[in-house]
Structure 1
Amino acid sequence: MLEVKNIRKAFGDAIANDEVSLRVEKGTIHAIVGENGAGKSTIMKIVYGFYRPDAGEIFFDGQPVTIRNPHEAIDLGIGMVHQHFMLVDTMTVAENIILGAETGSAANLDLATAEREVKKLSDELKLDVDPKAMIEDLSVGAQQRVELLKALYRNAELLILDEPTAVLTPQEVNDLFAILRRMREQGKTIIIITHKLDEVLAISDEVTVMRDGRTVGHKVTSDTSAPELAKMIVGRDVLLRVEKPAARPAETILEARELIVEGKHGRAVDGMSFSVRSGEIVGIAGIEGNGQTELIEALSGLRMVSSGNVLFEGQDITDLSSRRIKELGIAHIPEDRHKRGLLLDSDLAENSILGVHYRPPIASSSGLMNGESIAQRVNEIIEQFDVRPANPELSARSLSGGNQQKLIIGREFELNPRLLLVSQPTRGVDIGAIEFIHRKLIELRDSGSGILLVSAELEEVTSLADRLLVIREGKIVGEVDPANTSHEEIGLLMTGG
């Protein structure tokens, strides 16, 4: 169905694809795996017409093709769901899905028909998406499903999915895989870019491994294993599980009392009470959209608390600004790195000082910036957190998703926080970086900091957390010991089963 030969693509001095060649058989599910920055997304964006290659050839359905833009790719029958959403926040689901493929005339857009077709497709695929909903009102997980619908609406014969399960619950992943298998049975061809090796083994027929912009291996999935793929991806043996000593919790540093926080559609956090002690990781498990985002934003000063109190080391911080909260020693790694974590068009140096840009030694009392201190800070983050490419003058936008995440984590860890509020720490991050981030979180815990962890990855939150709070509809519905509770039991609490 697809063959690329000797594709080369450079962005300035950085070579993203270096003589990449791969073949994808028709009617198969083909996984592409590799570290962040390995060139996986770049080669697929070239196939989709998002980038033009510097050299090389593309063959689609046996014919040589030149794909100059996404419109030409769509006309050929190629669809792509990007890792970072390509949606217009101020438009409805249906308007986003038909954008560029509108029904009716320019003077008389037939939106009602489009809404019916989107609703039918959503129901068939069990995606539970309201075509009339505004994108800005949807959870991250629902927006991901809209992206999937957008590609399928155009009858793609080859569907490229970039990290499609990064924001889905285990149940949603199973539903998605059932859909993809049905599509394969209908003759569709699917390419999945992912970091999750268990999913590669569960869903794909073949897998291509990339490293440093090159293809370094190809395997029939049934003939390989997670450890073998991990070693090919990273170039060394990788620990595929979290190893940690027992927690040694001490005094309570965060206490929430009967917390009520409003969301866009009413009460998002409904009377939550809990505590976090120094030297422990408290995890929060729940289906996305059940108050996690609003809770973390309220605790970090980004959202108003309607009722209740938040105490940090005995001090009431309920109504403090996010700046003051950070100054007290509370760091925040947001769930959406693009909207909340980075200034995408600013360079790495500027992004490394966000939150401390007005404090010494970064700035003097008169407000003048200290270039030497800034350079020292960004270089330490780049070195200690392995941010690639290691160029402080690059824009944050030019980094892969995983390296953007490492930049944010490094910046927040540099604060030496007493409490870390962290949401989705490894979303869209490769296995080598996941291992690294997990180790850093454990080190922070063992240094005496408290951590409140939100993750849609049930495996991640259960393996990292010392105590696990399960939430549903803005309420805590259970507290469990993750070491002695099955995923099925936690899933039942999450869904009210």
Structure 2
Amino acid sequence: MSEGKGAEVVLRLDRITKRFGALTANDAVSLTLRRGEVVALLGENGAGKTTLMNILFGHYVADEGSVEAFGQPLPPGNPRAALQAGVGMVHQHFTLAGNLTVLENIRLGTEGLWSRGHGGARAKVERLSRDFGLAVHPDAKVGRLSVGERQRVEILKALYRDARILILDEPTAVLTPQESEALFATLRKATALGLSVIFISHKLHEVMAIADRCVVLRHGRVVGEVDTHATDKGALAALMVGGELSLPRAEARAPGAVLMKLDSVSTPDRGAAPGLKKVTLDLRAGQITGLAGVSGNGQAALAEIIGGLALPAEGTILLKNAPVTGWSPGEALARGVARIPEDRHHQGSIADFDLTENAVLEAYRSRFSRRGWMNWRAAREFAETIIAGYDVRCPGPETRIRLLSGGNMQKLILGRAMAGGPETGGPEIILANQPVRGLDVGAIAYVQSQLIAARDRGSSVLLISEDLDEIMGLSDVIHVMSQGRLSPGFARGTMTAAELGLWMAGQKFGDRDAA
């Protein structure tokens, strides 16, 4: 990894300050990056990481301070200058065209796809692939690649543009453990060849494994800069939140009766997204059922079935051993199924509605209206109860939800879900789909503790997550989904992350089918 303290400084951000009205997003932030070094940039949601990277890339102009790359000042507000200086970025959500080949995606935006020099481009891609250990065929269609392979294409895109500084934003969010290890092997090889990396992640064990130094932001300021070998995960988490923090872990307990059962449920494929393939699943009272898997392997179809958004093409849904008919979102809510949707922005809230309106979205007809007239006083009191009970930090219930941070938005959705159900002692079944995606360690701890508390009150929680640490830390029983198929259930502590990773990659399904 790092070439050491005496290595050349390739990037210098000096006392960067950026204000948005009364909010100071970055407050005199300074950061250096050396040749061949991996620096982890850490901080809670809203700490200022994104603003800092936007200033580096010229999307924002700092109010004060300066940026230098390789000893030369970067002109503010000029993204092209950053690219030309050798700065590249791989975003958490890939920007690739699935109908084009690897080579076409890499050339896209830098030169015409049908321009001359195609052979030279291929040779350069093959050389970069070989030098950096990024195994992917130039002629493969991107739409047919695994998630890990697509990430290699994104890194190759940056290297093809002669990036010497690479910013990775949550790079392992959708990878299996094996794919994450392959990425780290690539980074070690790349830094040995002189590439410098800024690594943005919430996964502190990965930060400890790959980073040389950690820079921690809190409320827009640098509150700590430490060598990784001189710290630990607990100390980093404490720097991020301003105090001691431990993530909750659910203690083992005996489950109760089956509240919902999917019996041999199948759904059609939708384009490249697989449907369910004869899925049988029991959701029991007082149990957290974890569903692991790489994104796009049927989890969305399963969530739609449970939440009433879709019906099985084959198979049966049973609630307390009785077959369900007329299944719909309204019926699911009425029968005690609460939803924490995968996408809080597009599925869980309406951006321009205030907190009161969003709090009652799923229950305004059944609880807050009579003969078509809304009881806004009761609705506001309900929103205030959620805001106080779930520590939603906001000016008040009239605040537009789009103005909240991701963590506070998720707390409101969580509170709304926990307040529903027969009527209203709380939900019997909680569909928690990626409930902590994109949240900082403090918000993660809060949301997970609430899910454990719901389980301990007797609710059945289906936890759908791509984060194996979360799945293994909270789940009483773990299933893996791959290409629409569901693995057997594994009791807590009986499977390692590596073994679950093989199920996620589909390899163990092949072993079972062969047997």
Q: TM-score, normalised by structure 2?
A: 0.84
What is the aligned length?
A: 488
| 8 Å CA contact retained: 1:209, 1:218 | yes
1:243 — aligned with what? Answer: 249
Question: How far did residue 280 of structure 1 move?
Answer: 0.8
Counterpart selection for 2:265 from 256, 259, 263: 259
8 Å Cα contact 1:333-1:341 kept in structure 2: yes
- Determine whether 1:447 maps to 2:454: no
Query: How far does residue 294 in structure 1 lie from its aligned partner after superposition?
Result: 1.6
Structure 2 counterparts to residues 7-22 of structure 1, below 5 A: 7-22=16-31
Q: Distance in 1 between matches of 2:190 and 2:106?
A: 19
CA pair 226-467 structure 1, distance change in 2 beyond 3 A? same
* 1:138-177 correspondence to structure 2 within 5 Å: 147-177=154-184
Letter in 2 for 1:22: L
Quick one: distance in 2 between partners of 1:351 and 1:140?
Answer: 34
Q: In the alignment, does 2:30 pair up with 1:24?
A: no
CA distance in 1, matches of 2:345, 2:125: 29
Pick which of 352-361 and 287-296 moved more: 352-361
Q: Is 1:54 the equivalent of 2:63?
A: yes
Matched, 1:189 2:187: no
Structure 1 pair 214/324, CA: closer, same or farther in 2 (3 Å)?
A: same
Q: 1:44 aligns to what? A: 53
3-state SS of paired residue (2:277): strand
> Residue type matched to 2:74 in 1?
V
* Letter in structure 2 aligned against 1:311: L
- The offset of 1:266, in angstroms, is 7.3
Taking the TM superposition and a 5 Å limit, the aligned residue runs for 1:312-351 are 312-317=319-324, 320-344=327-351, 346-351=353-358
Corresponding residue for 1:468? Answer: 478
Bigger mean CA offset, 384-393 vs 66-75: 384-393
Q: Partners of 2:295 and 2:107 in 1: how far apart?
A: 26
**Is 1:231 equivalent to 2:241 in the alignment?**
no
Residue 433 of structure 1 is aligned with which of 443, 448, 458? Answer: 443
For residues 457-493 of structure 1, what are the alpha-carbon distances to aligned partners after superposition, in whole Å with 9 as ceiling and x for unaligned?
Answer: 2221122111122333322332221223333333344
Partner letter of residue 428 of structure 2?
R
1:151, 1:297 → 2: CA distance?
37
Note the aligned Cα RMSD (angstroms): 3.3
Distance (whole Å) between structure 1 residues aligned to residue 30 and residue 404 of structure 2: 23
Give 1:323-472 correspondences, 5 Å limit.
323-344=330-351, 346-361=353-368, 363-366=369-372, 368-390=373-395, 392=397, 395-415=400-420, 416-472=426-482
Amino acid at match of 1:307: E
Q: Secondary structure at the match of 1:187?
A: coil
Whether the 8 Å CA contact 1:126–1:175 is kept in 2: the answer is no
Measured in 1, the distance between the counterparts of 2:360 and 2:106 equals 38
Where does the alignment leave 5 or more consecutive residues of structure 2 unmatched? 1-9, 421-425, 509-515
Task: Report Cα offsets for 1:143-201 as digits up to 9, x if no partner.
Answer: 76665454444332211122111222211111111112222112111101111111111
In structure 1, distance between residues paired with 2:149 and 2:307: 24
1:478 matched to which residue of 2? 488
Q: 1:143 to 1:494 in 2, by over 3 A?
A: closer
Task: For 1:258, give the aligned amino acid.
Answer: S
Letter in 2 for 1:412: A
One-letter amino acid matched to 1:253: L
Counterpart of 2:11? 2
CA distance in 1, matches of 2:439, 2:481: 25
Match of 1:81 in 2: 90
Aligned pair partner of 1:270 in 262, 277, 299 = 277
C-alpha distance in structure 1 between counterparts of 2:159 and 2:11, whole Å: 18
Q: 1:401–1:303: structure 2 CA closer, same or farther, 3 Å change rule?
A: same
Amino acid at match of 1:74: L
Partner Cα separation in structure 1 for residue 429 and residue 261 of structure 2? 12
Aligned equivalents of 2:295, 2:129: Cα separation in 1: 19
Q: Per-residue deviation at 1:348? A: 4.3
| TM-score after normalising by structure 1 | 0.86
Contact 1:129–1:145 (CA under 8 A) maintained in structure 2 = no
Q: Are the aligned partners of 2:285 and 2:460 in contact in 1 as well (CA < 8 Å)?
A: yes
Give yes or no for contact 1:115–1:132 (8 Å, CA) kept in 2: no
Structure 2 counterparts to residues 302-321 of structure 1, below 5 A = 302-317=309-324, 320-321=327-328
Alignment of 1:123-142 (within 5 A): 125-126=134-135, 132-133=141-142
The 10-residue stretch of structure 1 (203-212 or 164-173) with the greater mean CA deviation from structure 2:
164-173
> 23-32 vs 116-125, which deviates more?
116-125
SS in 2 for 1:31: strand
Distance in 2 (CA, whole Å) between partners of 1:8 and 1:465 is 43
Greater alpha carbon shift after TM alignment, 281-290 vs 88-97? 88-97
Measured in 2, the distance between the counterparts of 1:141 and 1:341 equals 28
Contact 1:301 1:319 in 2 (8 A): no
Please name the residue that 1:70 is paired with. 79
Counterpart AA for 1:288: S
Offset, 1:253: 0.8
SS in 2 for 1:246: coil
DSSP-derived class of the 1:281 partner? strand
Q: Is the 8 A contact 1:317 1:325 kept in 2?
A: no
CA contact (8 A) 1:8 1:56 kept: yes
Unpaired runs of 5+ in structure 1? Answer: none
User: What pairs with 1:204-223 in structure 2 (closer than 5 Å)?
Assistant: 204-223=211-230
Once residues 436 and 212 of structure 2 are traced to their aligned partners in structure 1, the CA distance between those partners, rounded to angstroms, is: 26
Q: Percent identity?
A: 40
CA distance in 1, matches of 2:340, 2:318: 20
- Comparing 70-79 and 388-397, the one that deviates more: 388-397
Instruction: Give the deviation of 1:398 after TM superposition.
Output: 4.6
Secondary structure of the 2:410 match is: helix
Q: Which deviates the most, 398-407 or 227-236? A: 398-407
Residues 45-65 of structure 1 show CA distances to partners (whole Å, capped at 9, x for unaligned) of 211122222222222222222
Q: Separation in 1 of the partners of 2:110 and 2:399? A: 36
Q: Is the 8 A contact 1:260 1:267 kept in 2?
A: no
Give CA deviations for 1:87-117 in whole Å, capped at 9, x if unaligned.
Answer: 488975767655543425xxx6789889968
